């Protein structure tokens, strides 16, 4: 999921439970303007960092412990990453999102979209 500076959802992608999140990050960030991209260590890849730099943005991603080449982390800026966690917490307040009653990905994506719209309207 991609959220704006105030924690409102902008884009999301549904994936299988066993799939990683990092491969979808480039697609989610495509065509979105950004000065800074905040992410957790799961998104620490050279490919994603290059894509972010190609947008003219700064990547604020902590280093994966297994990374050989370490990047500097702006810890003051990284503290703002809580906005994505807050967004997920707000989305999970919608019972249909939290419990996933919908059996198909299409229907579940529709429910998440409706919940995201409600968050924007608040």
Q: What is the per-residue pLDDT for 90?
A: 95
pLDDT tens readout for residues 2-36: 998 888 999 999 988 777 778 888 899 988 999 99
Residue 101: pLDDT band by 50, 70, 90 thresholds? confident
Select the more confidently predicted residue: 114 or 64. Answer: 114
pLDDT tens readout for residues 40-88: 988 998 999 999 999 999 999 999 888 888 999 999 999 999 999 999 9
Which sign does the torsion angle of CA 97, 103, 104, 110 carry? Answer: negative
Q: What angle do CA 29, 88, 74 make, to 5 degrees?
A: 55
Quick one: CA torsion of 57, 122, 115, 117, rounded to 10 degrees? -60
């Amino acid at each position: 999921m991609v959220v704006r500076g105030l924690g409102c959802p902008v884009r999301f992608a549904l994936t299988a439970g066993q799939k990683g999140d990092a491969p979808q990050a480039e697609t989610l960030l495509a065509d979105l303007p950004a000065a800074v991209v905040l992410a957790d260590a799961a998104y620490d890849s050279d490919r994603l960092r290059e894509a972010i730099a190609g947008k003219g943005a700064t990547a604020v991603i902590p280093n994966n412990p297994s990374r050989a080449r370490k990047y500097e982390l702006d810890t003051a800026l990284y503290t703002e990453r809580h906005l994505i966690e807050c967004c997920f917490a707000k989305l999970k307040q919608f019972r249909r999102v939290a419990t996933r009653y919908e059996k198909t990905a299409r229907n579940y994506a529709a429910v998440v979209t409706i919940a995201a719209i409600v968050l924007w309207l608040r």
